[in-house]
A and B are shown apart, each in its own frame.
Chain A
Amino acid sequence: MYENGFQDSGVEDNAGTRPATANSEQRRVSRLSEAMNDALAPPANVIIRDSAAIFRNSGLNTPSPYDTPSSMDGALEVHDQYFAQKDSSSRPVTRPSTAPFDATRDRYGFRKKTQYVSVAQYEAWNGPYTEYLTRRRKKWVILLKESGLITDRPTRFPPKSVKVKRFVRKGIPPDWRGEAWFYYAGGPSMIAKQPGVYTELLRQASMGEVTETDNEIIERDLNRTFPDNIKFKPDRPPDSGRDSQIPEPETPLLQSLRRVLHAFSIYNPKIGYCQSLNFLAGLLLLFMNEEKSFWMLNIITRVYLPGTHEVNLEGANVDLGVLMTSIKESMPSVWTKIAGELDGSTIDPSKSMRLPPITLCTTAWFMSCFIGTLPIETVLRVWDSFFYEGSKTLFRIALTIFKLGEQEIKAVNDPMEIFQVVQTIPRRMLDCNVVLETCFKKFANLSQGTIEQRREERRRGYADERARANGEPVVVRRKGTVFTRRKERKVDR
């Protein structure tokens, strides 16, 4: 049922206006990688310039694996100490984390029941969805076989094509998901070009090179990451009292999370540790090993969402501005409801750099890539397309949330109520097929190119603001002429 409904719906490829050929797809990807400063190696079928360079030069402390003659053994030894030391004397015996979990948990170890979704609602959806997964998996097996790829724990996937994109949009099989994300996001070439970096970073972390500030917040946030997932926080043994003073042992996944966040913070001094990275890394770790999670975290924060997690959060503000413009354009009646300032005035995102307060509610959407906003299965389905197609997926999904909530939003009269409504709508979006279907039906025309162009405009806006704040002369911009743009660049430097 699901499948047919989904299959026959005009997803982007068949939607008429924009026939995506392999060629246009390729163009998109290369445009994407250009827009991203060639930052990362994109997928297999694209020629890569020296995409690893940006990583190598990323920070003052960024290690080069080439000039550190640390033997593999040595590194591992330190790594072990590091492990042990954080772990204190009582090395936990963590129960094996093999699915399936007990009936209260979903297939990934999360509690089925949330504040917004009851177990009954979950089960009603999960029954047919499980069948859907089985059907999709069979199709994926055929797809991989046709491409001459192994289907037992595959690490390689078919090259990008219209067909594969459609498959990804309908969901990657859960047990293949991690490898597929990694593959399509350009992970393999990243790791190939940076051998040993992760291990070296762990060595540095063990030498205390994580800043005190970062370390402190990371430590606090470890236990605050997916407390509702059994792999992060096991069920307490029934005999332990409510107020048992014995600290709970750390799970292996939690220890991995610490190491990934440590390594990342050293490797990315401009970001360090930013709350929300714990969620991103945590979810990655449920699907792939530590080292791959580390690289994926880099890819997310530098390629897909540049600047979003940096200290001034400019990238996050840029993207929120882009989202606001896109809403105004595609859903004017929603826009009138959400554009209000707290004092009743309205903001025009095309004229002002100020963001309306509704963006306070949507900041987490981008920073956490919808973790904590959408139900987990929906998040995973979004991530499937996100890693395959680029950051436009996040914008399209954000628009979809407003679209699916349109009636509710329009019904709001109290201007403060809007915040609660917008906050709550996505949390109930359990039916991921509906979300994804709506997304590609309604918003497939929002291209990565448009997003990159709007991002660039917003970035220039902030650069102007900074220049003005520094008392530097700012050329009054007549929309986007080459002349003024050049001047602004100069001002910015």
Chain B
Amino acid sequence: MAEATAPKPSSSVKLVLLGEAAVGKSSLVLRFVNNDFQENKEPTIGAAFLTQKCNLPTRTIKFEIWDTAGQERFASLAPMYYRNAQSALVVYDLTKPTSLIKAKHWVAELQRQASPGIVIALVGNKLDLTNETANSSNSLSDGGDGEAAEGEDADGDARRVSTAEAKSYAEEEGLLFFETSAKLGTNVTEVFTAIANAIPETSLKGTRGPGAAQANAGRTEDPSRVNLTGPRDNASKEGCAC
């Protein structure tokens, strides 16, 4: 893309992806990094490391992404990833309510253990399996209450977690919130752009090393936690370079 303009300040942001097995963590990264999708993506063993740049109007952010393995037994490795992460993407599968429960556990663990000030985005993936209009983030704002109906309804809507439920949880916890489809690409760059925008300038000073967010080891709720609550904050207009 157009990188011809004057060099913008550039900094790197460490991001970790967490969430139950098969919710689509690797697929979201693959979409973000390669703009690609693989129908039967292999499970991640241990972790994969990827990078991708994201151009904001005033700066360039280089995401350093740890894509982790979702199976429960790999969870013990997680602290190694999130110890220094400035951001986390906690993913659930919106056709699978238990995956949201797992996501909430991850959020709680991050709030307890990770760097204070870590920017967390809650992401409900596989939006394409619902019968809502794809590619329309507006469908998120009208709540979608009552969508978590029992069983699949006649027109094949597989949604089992309503937007309203997840969103209100995200608001309570001060998380960014998106519903995405890695398959169609819906809202994927938006998530990363919103994270990039939400990282406080102060933690971007050095492109390397401990990072400002690392400075103290306090493990309490951070009052300065960014409180952006959705795709309507226009963050997505400043697209990533991908």
Contact = CB atoms under 8 A, between A and B. Distances in A.
A217 B71 contact: yes
B46 A223 contact: no
A296 B48 CA distance: 28
Contact of A227 (B40, B51, B80, B208): B40
Nearest to A226: B42
A225 B41 CA distance: 8
A278 interface: yes
Contacts of B194: none
Contacts of A220: 21-22
A423 B84 CA distance: 20
Contacts of B39: 227
A225 B42 contact: yes
Contacts of B76: 312-313
Given A361-B49, A415-B208, A312 B42 contact: no
B74 interface: yes
A275 B21 contact: yes
A276 interface: yes
Interface in B46-78: 46-51, 64, 66, 69, 71-74, 76-77
Interface residues of A, number: 37
A225 B209 CA distance: 37
Nearest to B48: A423
A360 B66 contact: yes
B240 to A, nearest CB: 18
Given A343-B209, A420-B49, A372 B42 contact: yes
Contacts of B84: 342-343
B83 interface: yes
Nearest to B70: A275
Nearest to B209: A344
B45 interface: yes
Contacts of A225: 42
Interface string A201-233: 000000000000100010011011111000001
A307 B40 CA distance: 28
A115 to B, nearest CB: 9
A361 B40 contact: no
Interface stretch (A7-15, A362-370, A464-472, A474-482): A362-370
B80 A360 contact: yes
A419 interface: yes
Nearest to A364: B45
A367 B45 contact: yes
Nearest to B207: A414
Contacts of B45: 275-276, 279, 363-364, 367-368, 372
B50 A357 contact: no
Contacts of A344: 209-210
Interface in A370-392: 372
A319 B12 CA distance: 32
Interface in A291-338: 311-313
Of the listed residues B46, B81, B209, B210, the one surrounded by the most CB atoms of chain A closer than 10 A to its CB is B46
B22 A364 contact: no
B43 A275 contact: yes
B49 A360 contact: yes
A367 B46 contact: yes
Contacts of A233: 40
B38 interface: yes
Contact of A360 (B38, B47, B208): B47
A414 B208 CA distance: 9
Contacts of B64: 416
A446 interface: no
A363 B46 contact: yes
A357 B146 CA distance: 44
Contacts of B48: 361, 423
B210 A343 contact: yes
Contacts of B40: 223-224, 227, 233
A360 B84 CA distance: 14
A416 B84 CA distance: 12
Contacts of A362: 46
A16 B209 CA distance: 46
A364 B46 contact: yes
A313 B73 contact: yes
A360 B50 contact: no
Contacts of A368: 45
A99 B34 CA distance: 33
A361 B46 contact: yes
B214 interface: yes
A313 B74 contact: yes
A469 to B, nearest CB: 13
A274 interface: yes
A234 to B, nearest CB: 13
A266 to B, nearest CB: 18
Contacts of B74: 275, 313
Interface string B118-150: 000000000000000000000000000000000
A370 to B, nearest CB: 11
Of the listed residues A275, A372, A414, the one surrounded by the most CB atoms of chain B closer than 10 A to its CB is A275
Interface of A: 213, 217, 220-221, 223-227, 233, 274-276, 278-279, 311-313, 342-344, 355, 357, 360-364, 367-368, 372, 414-416, 419-420, 423
Given A343-B210, A416-B51, 5 more contacts: A224-B43, A313-B73, A313-B77, A363-B46, A420-B49
Interface of B: 12, 14, 21-22, 38-51, 64, 66, 69, 71-74, 76-77, 80-81, 83-84, 208-210, 214
Instruction: Give the 9 A-B CB pairs with smallest separation, nearest first.
Output: A363-B46, A364-B45, A227-B40, A419-B49, A342-B84, A360-B47, A275-B43, A364-B46, A220-B22
20 contacts: A213-B72, A220-B21, A223-B40, A227-B38, A274-B71, A275-B45, A275-B71, A275-B74, A276-B43, A313-B77, A343-B84, A360-B49, A360-B80, A363-B46, A367-B45, A415-B208, A416-B51, A416-B64, A420-B49, A420-B51
